[in-house]
Each structure stands twice: as structure tokens, then as C-alpha cells.
Amino acid sequence: MIKKIGVLTSGGDAPGMNAAVRAVVRAAISKGMEVYGVRRGYNGLINGDIIKMDERSVTDIIHQGGTVLYTARCLEFKEPAGVAKAKEKCNELGIEGLVVIGGDGSFRGAADLSAMGVLCIGIPGTIDNDISCTDYTIGFDTAMNTAMELVDKLRDTSQSHDRISVVEVMGRGAGHIAVNTGIACGATDIITKEVPYDIDAIAKTMLEKKARGKQNFVVIVAEGIGHAQEIAKELEEKTGIEARATILGHVQRGGNPTVRDRVEATRMGYYAVELLEKGIGNRVVGIKDSKIVDYDILEALKMKKPYDEELHHIAEEIAF
Ligand code: ADP
Ligand code: F6P
């Protein structure tokens, strides 16, 4: 029976990470384990920035964005010497299991530490929803809702000026935030890396729509495409319609998590502790068809996530 576990958040923060930390801490305590909070990702494991958590340590955090454990990108942990230091620290404290809340990079680190004998369980936490083994990652819903609210506000001003609003949303290389936000905001066009696009064709269609009475346009651009400013400039030149670009940026990572993020984070956090309780490690937890699943970390990292092209095409077809 595992007696001591740790929990850390790593990579970009995401709303709902606190709900996952809370679930891990409370589930561990309820199952009779001691639990430690490792601060600032793998840095905390290497430097010993580790605090004992009790049931009150996670009071009043379920509704907060960000992560009370802080997060970081730790270059040292990418080297075998860094992993060895982390393993030593676990040995010193008697930490036998570790829950790692983060993205693919964090899971690679968890696989390395698992290979050294620490039972690691990954929980997908990133606003980008770009982790292949799971339908859902913690933070995705909140980030999209934030982006949607901001685009709604932009629409007011865009509409008042008869303009084109080009809005860049986050997602790193993936267009999942862009396509869903685009649908939710009734965007005229959605530009992501996953579906080929042609600015001339977009401009031509805008002019056709304008001729039929449409007066303002919202174009959602995925971060992976970049160049929101250039796209706005090109569209203005090609259509003669005034255009403005807005990069929503890090504001999409903040704010109180939605119901979905709190619930999924809690389910996955609880399940991660159940795996550790059974002495199981080197797994990533995910959600497939609404059910909790788990996979070998390296197998999970090899999977490919499809982009919802159907959603993208529906958006295009009905945007007139
Ligand atoms: P994410 O987990 O969101 O993908 P990163 O790619 O920044 O974010 O990874 C978070 C942290 O995970 C890194 O700072 C590093 O400590 C660790 N990490 C990333 N890639 C690897 C790797 N290939 N091997 C070991 N650890 C890694
Ligand atoms: O992975 C989450 C994310 O917000 C991406 O959407 C974005 O590309 C990246 O992190 C930004 O990272 P940073 O916080 O280092 O600027």
C-alpha cells in the first residue's frame, strides 16, 4: 500500500487545475495516504520546494483559476541528471507516487520519473485540448468561454463601425479552441492550421456577403497560424472594408473554471489517486466518450488527435 504521494502542476496553467489538486489531496487523505504539494512543477521536485498538504490546504480553491501549486517549465528536468535529483528527493521524503497535472511535455517527464521507480500518473491540464489520448483537457471549456465572451464584446464595436474583426485565439499548434469559439461566436471565417485556407477566397466571399447586406465580419484565427495583424491588413486591402486585429492572449488562461472544468478535474484527480492506491503508475488519465480511461504514458504520447473538420465545415457553410 502506497503511503505518501505528491502532486504538481507543470507547463502552462489552466483553469480547473486547482480543482484537480483539491481532488487529489482530498482523495489521498480519505484513503489514508500522506500527500505533498510540489511547487513550480518539476523545479520543486529538484529543489525540494515541497509542502505537506492537509485537508484544509485545498480549502477555497475549487473556484479559482491558475494553480495554487504554481507552475513552471523546468529545463533541468529534461536531462537525466535532473530526473535523478528528483528521484533522490522523492526517496528522501518517502514519496512513492506522483500526480502530474500538465501537458505532453509534463507527461514525458513523468514517463522518465516512472522509469526511475516513482509511480507517476498524468492528468491532462491545458487550455489547448491538444492531448491525444483524451477527448478533454482541464481548462479547455473555461478558456473557450472566456474567448467567446471577449469576441462577443468585440462584435459590438465591430458592428458599430461596419468592420472586420480578426481575432487570434490561443491553442499553440492546435485549432480546437479556434473552431469551437468560432462556432459559438457565429464567426464569418475560422482559420486554423488543420484546414487549408485562401485569403483571396475569404476576401471574395466577404465582398459577396457584403453585396447581400452583411455589414461586419468576425474572423477567428488560431494562434498556430499567427499573423493576425497581417491577415487583417490583407483583408482590408482586398475588400476595402476597415479591419482590426485583436490578439486575446493570456487572458484566456485566467478566470474561474466552468462547471465542466471543475467536474472533469475532480473526476480525473480522484481516479489518479485510485490508480496509485492500487500501486499502478506510468499511466495518463483521460476522458473518452464521457468515461474515465487510462493509458501507458508512452503509448498515450504516440496517439494522434483528430481535428473536428466537420464542425469547421458546418461553421463555414452556415456563415452567411
Ligand atoms: P506541457 O506539459 O504543457 O506540454 P512543456 O512542454 O513546457 O509543457 O513541459 C513542461 C515541463 O515538462 C518542462 O518544463 C520539463 O520540465 C518537462 N518536460 C518537457 N519535455 C520533456 C522531455 N522530453 N523529457 C523530460 N521532461 C520534459
Ligand atoms: O499551452 C497553453 C498555452 O496558453 C498555449 O495556448 C500558448 O501557445 C502557450 O501556452 C503560451 O505559453 P506562455 O505562457 O509560455 O506564453
Read off the pLDDT of residues 98-155 as tens digits, 9 standing for 90 and up. Answer: 999 999 999 999 999 999 999 999 999 999 999 999 999 999 999 999 999 999 999 9
Q: What residues pair up with 285 in beta bridges, in sequence order?
A: 294
pLDDT confidence band for 47 (50 / 70 / 90)? very high
Atom of ligand 2 nearest to the CA of 250: 4
Q: Mean of the pLDDT values across residues 74-87?
A: 97
Q: Mean of the pLDDT values across residues 301-320?
A: 95
Q: At what angle do helices 176-184 and 309-318 cross, to 10 degrees?
A: 30
How many whole angstroms from 130 Cα to the centroid of ligand 1? 14
pLDDT 10s digits, 231-267: 999 999 999 999 999 999 999 999 999 999 999 999 9
Average pLDDT of the chain is: 97
pLDDT surpasses 90 at 179:
yes
pLDDT confidence band for 189 (50 / 70 / 90)? very high
Asked if 128 is an active-site residue, the reply is: yes
Q: Which helix (H) or strand (E) holds 300?
A: helix 297-302
User: Of 13, 104, 128, 130, which residue is the catalytic one?
Assistant: 128
- pLDDT of 166 reads 98
Q: Mean of the pLDDT values across residues 22-47?
A: 98
Q: Do the beta carbons of residue 70 and residue 47 sit within 8 Å?
A: no
Altogether, the residues listed in the chain come to a count of 320
Atom 19, ligand 1: which residue's CA is nearest?
A: 105
Q: Which positions ≥6 away from 178 have C-beta within 8 Å? A: 169, 171, 190, 191, 192, 220, 221, 222, 223
Atom of ligand 2 nearest to the CA of 130: 1
pLDDT surpasses 90 at 1:
no
pLDDT surpasses 90 at 226:
no
**Percent of the chain topping pLDDT 70:** 100
Mutate to test the pocket of ligand 2, among 127, 146, 221 (most ligand atoms within 8 A of CB): 127
What pTM, to 2 d.p., does this model score? 0.97
pLDDT confidence band for 320 (50 / 70 / 90)? confident
Q: Mean of the pLDDT values across residues 3-26?
A: 98
How many whole angstroms from 131 Cα to the centroid of ligand 2? 14
- pLDDT of 4 reads 98
